[in-house]
Structure formats: C-alpha cells, structure tokens
Amino acid sequence: MKQKIATLFALALLVMINFSIWSYVNNPLQLQPWTKTTMGLTYDPTRKGDDPRDNIFVKSEDIDKDLALLENKVHAVRTYSMLRGQHKIPEVAAKHNLNVTLGAWIDGNLEKNKQEIETLIDITRQNNPKIIRLMVGNEVMLRNDIPEAALIEYIRDVKKRTNSWRPVSTSETWAEWLKHPKLVEEVDFIAVHILPYWEGISADDAVDYIFDRYHDVQKAYPNKPVIITEIGWPSDGQPARHATASVSNQAKVLREFLNRADKEKVTYYIVEAFDQPWKQSIEGSAGAYWGIFNADRAAKYPMDGDVIALPNWSNWATGATIFSAVLMALFLFTRRTLQLPGIVFFGVITNLAASTIFWSVSVGAQQYQTPLTIVFWVILILMQVLAALILMIESLEIAEVVWHRKSARTFQPLTPSPEFKYPKVSLHLPIHNEPPAMVRKTLEALAKVDYPNLEVLVMDNNTKDPAVWEPVRDDCERLGPMFRFFHLENWPGFKAGAINHALEQTASDAEIIAIIDSDYILSPDWLNCMVPYFDNENVGFVQSPQDYRDRKQSSFKNMCYWEYAGFFNIGMVQRNEYNAIIQHGTMTMIRKSALIEVGRWAEWCICEDSELGLRLYEAGYDSVYVKDSFGKGLMPDTFSGYMTQRFRWVYGAMQIIKAHWRSFLPSKKSPLTAAQRYYFVAGWLPWFSDALALLFTMTSLLLTALIVYDPIHSELPVNAFLLPTIGLFAFKVLRGLWLYQARVPCSVLQSLGAALAGLSLTHTVAKGTIQGLFTSGKPFMRTPKYEAQGALIQGLMIIREEVMLLMLLAAAIISMAMLEHFDNLSGKLWISVLSVQAVPYVATLVSMLISIAPSYTRKGKLAEELDDEY
C-alpha cells in the first residue's frame, strides 16, 4: 500500500512539474508597449483560403468588415492593386475615416498593367480627400518585370493624367533605390521597403538596421521625402539566416520600431494588416505570417500588454500532462517489482516524450495548412508517436534492469537429486553443407555429455556433395548406437522440415527434444542441469543462452560477441521475469508432448524456433531461462554473414507478427498474458525503430534536395525530426552503455565495440523489417561457418546501399553548410539531424573495414584453432 501511495505521489509530482515547464516556457514577454494610433498598414482584402492569382473578386462587405476592424487603430492603409474589386477600398476607407495610399500593380502583363493604371486614374479623379498618395508598381525593379524606362513612362502617365495634389511614386527596397537614381528623379517621394528579416538580420538588431538603411537613403537623396512603405516581421515560418520568425520577435520588432518612428517623426506603413496564406507559394512559409492580425482577423497579441507566444498553451499543456499520466498508468501499474527511482525515471521520460509530441502538434495547429501539408504533418506526428513509444519501452527496460527487485523467476542450474528419474532426451542436430571437421567436434562433445538416457539424431538436410555429408555419417557410426544419421535428399521445409522429420524418427519413449546447432560444443552437464525443470508439468521449454568460443579470433568477432551478449544478459533475463523469453533454435529443450500438441515446427517461417516458442505460450505453457552458458558455437566469419544472420532474424520476426498479430492485441481473448504481449511487441519495436529511421533518412534527403533547389520557398521541419532522430539516437546510445555496464561483464571499450556492431546493422534491420512486413516466402538463409574473408572491393559491394546513403547524406550535409539562407540555428539543427542519420552508415563502413583488416595484416585464423578453449 505504501508503495502504491509513493508511486501515485511521484507520478502526480511529475505531472505538476511537466505543467510548470509549459508555463515557464510560455511566460508572458514584457516588451516596450505601443499605446498610440499606428500611422499605416498595408492592406490586401484576400481572405483565408483564397488566392488573388485565381482572379477572385473581393466583396465590398468583406472590405467593410476589415476596415471597420482597423478603424481607430491606424490612420491609413496602403493598397497594391486596383483590380478584383479593390477599387472600392478608398470609398469604404472614407466611411471609416481612414486615409489611403492607393496602389496599382505593375508586372510583365502589359494588358493588365493598362487596366491597373486606368482604374487608378479613374478612382483618383473622384472627389475623395482620403486618397493621399498614389503608387505605381511595387518592387517592379527588384523583380525585373519591366525595364526602368517603361516604369518611368507609367509614372509620368499617372502624373500627367491625374494632375492632382496627390504625390506619385513607386515602391522599391532600399537597395534598389540606391541603384536607380533616374527613377528617383521621376517620383515625388521615395517609397522604400526595409525588411531586415529577408536580409537575415536578427530581431535584436532589426530596428537599428531599419533606421540605418532609412538614413542611407535620405543621405543619398536629400532633396526627396522618404516614406517607409513596408516594414515588418513575420510571426511564423522558416528562418532566414539569423532572422527567426516568431510571434515574440514580431511583437518585439514592431513595438520597438513604432516607438522610435514616433520619436523621429517617420512616415511608415507596417506590412501588413492581415496574414495572407497564399503568399507561401511565392515567398516561402514566412510569407503567410506578416499580418498583425491572423487570416481569421484575430489580433495575434496586444500592442500595449504582455505577449504570449502560444496564448492557448494551457490547453496543450493539459493535454500533454493527461496523455503522459495515462501512459505512465498503462506502463507502470503492472510493474509491482519496479522500485521508486525506476518509476520516477520512466515518468520523466514519458512526460518529456508526451510534451514533445503535443508541442509539435501545437506548432502545426498554429500554421496555415493545405491538404498536402496536413498529410505531411499527420505522417510526421505518427512517426513521433512511434518514436516516443520506442523511447518509453527502452526507458522502461533501463528502469527494470537497474531498479528491479529480484523475483521468483530467477532460475539457476539444478543438480538432480538421487531419486531423480532421468527422462529420455532426443537431441536433434540439423546440418546443411557444414564442414565435416567442425561437425566432428560437435559430435565428439555430445559423446561426452553426462546424461544416462540420451539419443542423438543428426539430420543432414539436402547437402549435395557426398564428400561433405558422408564423413559425418561415418563419425556417427564410429561414435556408437546413441548416434543416428539421416541424409535427406530434396527435402522441403529447410531446417524446420529436417527437424520435423527427426521428430518422426524420435524414440517413442523420448519425453524431451533438445536442439543444438552444428557448430556447438556442449558442456557435459547441460542436460543434467536443465532437464529437472521439466518436473514442473507446465514447463513447455527450457532455454540456455547462445555463446561463442571464437571471439579472440579478431577484433570484428570480439565486437560481435559482446553485441550478442547484450541480448542474452539483458533482454532475455528481463523477459524471463515475465515468462516471455524468445526461444532460439540452439541450446533449447522442448517437452515432446507440448511440441506435438501445438503442431510441430513451422516450415513456413524462417525463424521456426521463435515461432514455436510463441505457440507454446499461446497454448499456456511456461518457459525457463538460465543465463549460465552450457555450450559455445561459432560466430559468422564475415560481415556479410553477420548481416545475413540478422536479416533472417528480423524477417522471420515480421513473419511471426503477421501470422500471430491477433495474439498481441490488448484483448481478453488473447491467449497470451499482458506481460507476454508487451514483451513480444517491445522486443520487436526497436527493429521498427530502425525501419522508421530509414524512412526519416529518405525523407530528410528528399527535403534537403528541395531545400538546396529552392531555399527561399522551402521550410525545415526540424521540430518534427528532433525526437525521432537526435533524441531517439542519443537515448539508444545512452541505454546501451548504461545497461551493458549494469548487466554485461565487459569493459566500456567492449560495450562501445558492441554498440558499433549493433549500429552497423541498422540498415539491414530496416530492410528486414520492411521486406518482412510487405513480402513473404523468403528462403531460409544459412549462416555459413569457416567462410573465407573477402577483399575491400567485395566488402564495399556487400554494403553498397549503406555506402550510397552515406555519400548522399555527406553531400546533403555539405550542401546545407554552404547555404547562406540557412546559416542559423535551424540550419545547424538540420545538419545535426543529417549527421546523426549518417552515424549508422559510418558504423557499417567501419565494421566492414574491421572485419576485413586481418586479410591485410596477417592470415586469418580459422575458428577450429580455438575449439580447444572449451
């Protein structure tokens, strides 16, 4: 009871801390207030979801609503076009006592230019004193739409035909005005755009930059009045070098500018009144967010009060805390043996993961989305959820390993009592095209096994060359009647087919089936120490770990040895606590009656051992795992063999998932316990993580290509990639090193070697997962022994996919580093994402080079030279 109360208190405290962090991050910003009426805003009446390029006619009532909203907030508005109903703006503005700087849009469409000019002149001739200035074109020189002389002709034509007191000009950026002194001579005033965001100036330096450029133009043309017709800052969108688009930065820049402009008596127009989402297609994502009101005509923040970047942050924080509380309850309240520090550790990770997901969703929810971007965001969020799930499972594994109370399911080797009745064991040894010398050592070790009631069935499965299988037959005959040899020609079912045939040849009085691989040298006491566990009638199978005797042969094999050791010293031990181990096809014993009951070995699955173990659990049988080593085999000799073996394991697991998926559903009808369902899914999820990493890598490469092609209109979805890439990778490395030091008897250097070996298989695991989910019928892939090591070129060809992806990622990193537009935090984070994604491919290349190094430094020693170690 005390433990439950402590757990509930700890979880409640974590939830409160999580909410407090949201509150701290969203603290109101205290900025310089602006309490006066703003001089002017640029105004485009286009509504949310519309695009002026579609020639959509603007309704007068919409203009009226907009200008009514601006009344008493600003003195004037500036327009850009006279078409699509915008010619009505001056009339409606007069109704709301707003001055108008009236603009005609000029570009390369000469017929349209004529319509703009004629309408501008017609409206100007009307008796409307609220029209105070005329603008002929906007950034025409910057876009290079028409020659300077042609623009000058338009300006002269408007001046001549209006013949009014209203001054006439055209708008350009400050740099363009400095380049075009002839244009200056034709205008009545200089209408200048100064937008430090587009020039990559930080928000802290923006206002000083605006006034410096303003004074530069004044100094260049002292006889002309200078009006700032565009100054502003976007509230969202991609960064431009050191300029970050955000609500807080927009408020900061505008308030500081407005107060300074008021002191210096500068005439200005803030760009713009309302957000224009359609501009994303021409200006990039930031183009949609320049308004002081959003596209729904709601103010983004007050001009004279505190600014909150995410006004409804408390809703998102509440969602994140509830979600994290539910997750913690689902994961933790079945873990009665988990100590309080482990509960707190898992709770911290869960809260961080939940908040990261809700933060990402909140970012997308504040932005203007198209159907395509909605699909993109949904996919990214789903990937984040999967990454968070993997993160929680791996953090729970840390908690259970480091802060776990010892339970009754910790098994040790047994010593048979004097009264023990030794049940008959039928040991099945499947072989296929194995070196006879290696198999001989296995058979000779079996002859020394200290067990009084044993038979050994050697099943040679489809070995074509008699020179390979006949020596094994002769060895069996030499070793006596305990050994029986079977040579199977054109036999179906691969390894499973062979041992199913062995089951048919098994002595009728045999009660236990034992399986070992053809390269294993057994300890004589294996059967004596493990068979007594079958006295418990509910035990369906008993498992000992795989172990290897050739790790000293090379640095590569030493790395592989410790990589394997992690599973048998960490994962299997922990799964055993919940009766949920993975059965593997060597060093295993099965109750014969149970094996027959559940349907023998599955010949459709290339991991028939793991599949059988799952069926035994589904039938209600228990398992026993003793982590003591009773036999040692040989590891793959080459990196190619190492990859092939792992691909087979992963592909087979996907076959099992597809065949047994109903058993993993959280249902009372499932034949598995809740813990068994959890550990089978949790054990396979890291492989899905590698598949997810491959998908993220491919997506990152595609996005980087688009960014390099068009940096202005591209956006980096850094937020959505941080958790599934950098966060998950960093945690996996931390988890591996932490758990190895807690459970695996190796040095830090050896655990780093194991991490390198594991990382080198990331792409192989990803392919095995994806192919296993979407294909079927891959043949059984034997792991060859005594395989000759290949040369460098052969090794590179084996890992050609990994090398290609590594080269593409390197090119992407270099390209991003050279992009001036992304010389900012987002760009550096994206390079970090790409760099992390490259690490597994670097690991593959390094591991391959380590594996072939002995071929270039000394003659590789074959594994049989080390057989006498055992």
Burial per residue of 702-733, b for 16 or more beta-carbon CB atoms within 10 angstroms, e otherwise: ebbeebbeebebbbbbbbbbbbbbbbbbebbe
Q: What is the pLDDT of residue 30?
A: 86
Q: What is the pLDDT of residue 861?
A: 47
Say how far residue 515 (Cα) sits from the centre of its chain: 40
Handedness of CA 493, 498, 499, 500 (dihedral sign): positive
Q: What is the pLDDT of residue 864?
A: 43
Confidence of residue 3 (pLDDT cuts 50, 70, 90): low
Q: For the chain, what percent of residues have pLDDT higher than 90?
A: 68
Helix, strand, or coil (residue 201): coil
Per-residue pLDDT tens for 139-154? 999 999 999 999 999 9
Confidence of residue 863 (pLDDT cuts 50, 70, 90): very low
Q: Return d(Cα 635, Cα 743) in angstroms, integer.
A: 22
Per-residue pLDDT tens for 452-466? 999 999 999 999 999
Residues 601 and 494 in one domain: yes
Confidence of residue 321 (pLDDT cuts 50, 70, 90): confident
Average pLDDT over residues 46-54: 89
Question: Does 661 fall in a domain?
Answer: no
Confidence of residue 305 (pLDDT cuts 50, 70, 90): confident
Among the residue ranges 66-80, 124-138, 401-415, 744-758, the one predicted with the least confidence is 401-415
Closest CA to 765 of 850, 653, 668, 870: 653
Q: Return d(Cα 662, Cα 432) in angstroms, integer.
A: 34
Residues 352 and 484 in one domain: no
Query: Higher pLDDT residue, 538 or 792?
Result: 538
Q: What is the pLDDT of residue 787?
A: 55
Structure tokens at 88: 């009505």
3-state DSSP helix/strand/coil % of the chain, to nearest 5: 55, 10, 30
Residues 59 and 130 in one domain: yes
> Do residues 31 and 251 lie in contact, with contact meaning Cβ atoms separated by under 8 Å?
yes
Average pLDDT over residues 704-725: 81
The DSSP letter of residue 790 is P
Question: Does 295 fall in a domain?
Answer: no
> Do residues 442 and 526 lie in contact, with contact meaning Cβ atoms separated by under 8 Å?
no
pLDDT at 593 over 90: yes
Q: Return d(Cα 726, Cα 53) in angstroms, integer.
A: 41
Per-residue pLDDT tens for 721-754? 777 788 888 888 888 899 999 999 999 999 999 9
Q: Does residue 511 have a cis peptide bond before it, meaning omega lies within 30 degrees of 0?
A: no
Confidence of residue 164 (pLDDT cuts 50, 70, 90): confident
Q: What is the pLDDT of residue 189?
A: 97
pLDDT at 870 over 50: no
Residue 100 pairs in a beta bridge with 77, 131
| Inter-CA distances, 461 with 458, 468, 515, 517, Å | 9, 12, 15, 13
Q: What is the pLDDT of residue 14?
A: 82
Highest mean pLDDT among 14-23, 282-291, 715-724: 282-291
Residues 430 and 336 in one domain: no
State the CATH number of the domain containing residue 38: 3.20.20.80
Q: What is the pLDDT of residue 470?
A: 96
Per-residue pLDDT tens for 599-611? 999 999 999 999 9
Number of domains in the chain: 4
Question: Does 846 fall in a domain?
Answer: yes
Question: Does 653 fall in a domain?
Answer: no
Residues 384 and 490 in one domain: no
Average pLDDT over residues 299-327: 89
Q: How many CB atoms lie within 10 A of CB 522?
A: 22
Residues 480 and 357 in one domain: no
The mean predicted confidence, pLDDT, of the chain is: 91
Residues 370 and 444 in one domain: no
Q: What is the pLDDT of residue 311?
A: 85
Q: How many CA atoms lie within 13 A of 715 on its CB side?
A: 22
- Final residue belonging to a domain, choices 635, 660, 680: 635
Q: What is the pLDDT of residue 545?
A: 96
Confidence of residue 134 (pLDDT cuts 50, 70, 90): very high
pLDDT at 650 over 50: yes
Which residues 6+ apart lie within 8 Å of 139 measured at CB? 171, 172, 173, 176, 193
Residues 444 and 565 in one domain: yes
| Inter-CA distances, 433 with 331, 436, 444, 463, 464, Å | 47, 9, 19, 5, 8
Residues 143 and 207 in one domain: yes
- Final residue belonging to a domain, choices 288, 321, 346: 288
Question: Does 303 fall in a domain?
Answer: no
Average pLDDT over residues 328-348: 80
Residues 9 and 74 in one domain: no
Question: Does 572 fall in a domain?
Answer: yes
Phi and psi dihedrals of 224, rounded to 5? -120, 135
> Do residues 170 and 135 lie in contact, with contact meaning Cβ atoms separated by under 8 Å?
yes
Average pLDDT over residues 582-595: 96
Q: Return d(Cα 782, Cα 496) in angstroms, integer.
A: 12
pLDDT at 866 over 80: no
Average pLDDT over residues 637-666: 93
Residues 561 and 627 in one domain: yes
Sheet holding 483-488, edge to edge: 483-488, 454-461, 424-431, 510-515, 588-591, 539-543, 622-625
Confidence of residue 343 (pLDDT cuts 50, 70, 90): confident
Average pLDDT over residues 100-129: 95
Confidence of residue 206 (pLDDT cuts 50, 70, 90): very high
> Do residues 168 and 103 lie in contact, with contact meaning Cβ atoms separated by under 8 Å?
no
Length of the chain: 870
Q: How many CA atoms lie within 13 A of 354 on its CB side?
A: 25
**Cα dihedral 389, 394, 396, 401 in deg (nearest 10):** 170
Helix, strand, or coil (residue 589): strand
**Cα dihedral 120, 125, 126, 131 in deg (nearest 10):** 60
Which residues 6+ apart lie within 8 Å of 29 measured at CB? 248, 251, 252, 306, 307, 308, 309
pLDDT at 334 over 90: no
Q: Return d(Cα 291, Cα 42) in angstroms, integer.
A: 9
Confidence of residue 860 (pLDDT cuts 50, 70, 90): very low
Per-residue pLDDT tens for 261-281? 999 999 999 999 999 999 988
Phi-psi region of 434 (alpha: psi -120 to 50; beta: other; left: phi over 0): beta
State the CATH number of the domain containing residue 617: 3.90.550.10
Q: For the chain, what percent of residues have pLDDT higher than 70?
A: 95
Residues 749 and 606 in one domain: no
- Final residue belonging to a domain, choices 402, 433, 451: 402
pLDDT at 103 over 90: yes
Question: Does 778 fall in a domain?
Answer: yes
Question: Does 585 fall in a domain?
Answer: yes
Per-residue pLDDT tens for 347-386? 888 888 899 889 889 888 888 988 888 888 888 888 888 8
Q: What is the pLDDT of residue 4?
A: 67
Residue 783, domain extent: 689-869
Q: Return d(Cα 649, Cα 574) in angstroms, integer.
A: 20
